[in-house]
Amino acid sequence: MTFPTSTAEPPVRWAALASVTAALAMFGLAQGLSYPLFSLLMQKQGLSPAMIGLSAAMMPLGLVVSAPFVPLAVRLAGARWLAVGCALGGALCFLAIGYLQDWVGWFLVRFLIGVIINPLYILGEVWALALATPSRRGRVMGVFNTLMGVGYASGPLVLTLVGTSGWTPFAVAVAGFVACAVTLRIVSADLAGFEDDGQAVGGVAGFAVLAPALLFAVLVSAANQQSTYSLLPIFGAGYGLPEAVLAAMLTALSLGNILLQIPLGLMAERFGGRAMIVFCAATTAVCALSLPMLIATPFIWPVLVVLGAVGYGVYTMALVELGNRFNGTALIAGNAAFALMWGVGGIVGPPSSGMAMQAVGTLGLPMVMVGLNVMLVAFALYRSAMRR
């Protein structure tokens, strides 16, 4: 399960990595656009923050339900065709969402999106980790998540240009999924062969026994990202900020991924993924605490950049640690477990934050984020002490 020690590592296959990342960045654009789009449309329909958060949890619920079956789907359909088919399925789901224009129907379709796109999450990260050499895995995953961050940041930015009315925002999302499918079909022939190496860890449940701290880190990172992307517009609206500024705040969050994931990856190579998980979680809690105090000041912009970087950086550090410890089919099982916990985090984060906001006002969002990240720091330190 562990990588063998070698003094001469093969070079990183940057061309293949760039192709995979470009395809997933197009998919990220569609996803980054969808979060604020749904939140703003549902707010215009008069829905409460709790209902908006519950709707945002439907896609993560699809991830949770489908994650245990992804390794089997890879074996049956093959990684290449499965990824291409899921990208096209995502395009069809956004066509259905644009056609329905009804928040009740969106609950079901957003659940189906989670089921369909799950293999894209898993296979994209597995391909990236498999293409990276152990000594460069931190910077490789930093580059991967930087370019993924470009895709996510482009979504809210595109929304500020096209608005929330009519078919245009849905057409952009459909185009992103189609471009992802085409790119994967062209390049994926060079990415097969590592998934059938005969290794196993007992599936998703078996992996949970091996790496519980990594899985909890993924849960918290998902709650960080999906709560902020779904409810930061509602949080900002509570302080009287205009719609254009709310969308720009989400772009600032994604800008953190663009600017800081590579430095975080280099730090992981120096200090280790486990230590960096604690650092990112603690910094996320500090940034969340400062949101109510700085929301109406110019200082909110650098705080949002840092928050976006370290909030998602928890996940990047967990990926680095995953790649350092596992490969082959064990890596697929681990990524499937990560996808499941990402879904659980999405189910925990937005609804609990939305209900907290409904109960205590805008302070509910930072309260939930601080609580989750403090628990992660405590659990990670506990696991480290137990290992010593």
Q: Which ranges in the chain belong to alpha helices (H)? A: 14-44, 49-56, 58-66, 70-77, 79-100, 103-131, 137-162, 168-187, 203-210, 212-237, 243-271, 273-294, 300-325, 328-360, 364-387
Is pTM, for the whole model, over 0.85? Answer: no
Distance CA 175, CA 173 (A): 5
Per-residue confidence (pLDDT) for residue 219, from 0 to 100 = 94
DSSP string of 124-140, one letter each residue: HHHHHHHHS-GGGHHHH
C-alpha neighbours within 13 Å on the C-beta side of residue 277: 28
Cβ contact 227:357 at 8 Å: no
Residue 255 contacts residue 153 (beta carbons within 8 Å): yes
Gap between the Cα atoms of 137 and 148, Å rounded: 16
Residue with token string 């259905």: 96
| Best CA proximity match to 39, nearest among 60, 27, 58, 56 | 56
Where are the domains positioned within the chain?
14-387
pLDDT value of position 164: 67
Q: At what angle do helices 58-66 and 49-56 cross, to 10 degrees?
A: 30
Sign of the CA dihedral running 210, 213, 214, 216:
positive
- Sequence-ordered strand ranges (E) for 324-388: none
How much is the pLDDT for 3? 43
| pLDDT in 10s for each residue of the chain, 388 residues | 444 444 456 666 777 777 777 777 777 777 777 777 777 777 777 777 777 777 777 877 887 888 888 888 888 888 888 888 988 998 898 888 778 777 777 788 888 888 888 888 788 888 888 777 777 888 888 888 777 777 777 777 777 777 767 778 888 888 888 888 888 888 766 665 454 555 556 667 777 778 888 999 999 999 988 888 888 888 888 888 887 788 788 878 877 878 888 899 899 988 888 899 999 999 999 999 999 999 888 999 999 999 999 998 999 999 988 888 877 777 888 888 888 888 788 778 888 888 999 888 889 999 999 999 999 999 999 988 887 7
Q: Which two tokens stand for residue 244?
A: 């254009």
The CATH number of the domain covering residues in 14-387: 1.20.1250.20
Give the per-residue pLDDT at 254: 76
- Give the integer Cα–Cα distance in Å for 253 and 309: 7
* DSSP code, position 201: -
Q: Alpha-carbon distance 31 to 42, whole Å?
A: 17
What the block records as the tokens of 354 is: 């939305």
The pLDDT score that the predictor gives to residue 2 is: 44
Q: For tokens 């599936």, name the residue.
A: 203
pLDDT at 124: 82
Structure tokens at 326: 């596992």
Q: Are 97 and 89 in contact (CB under 8 A)?
A: no
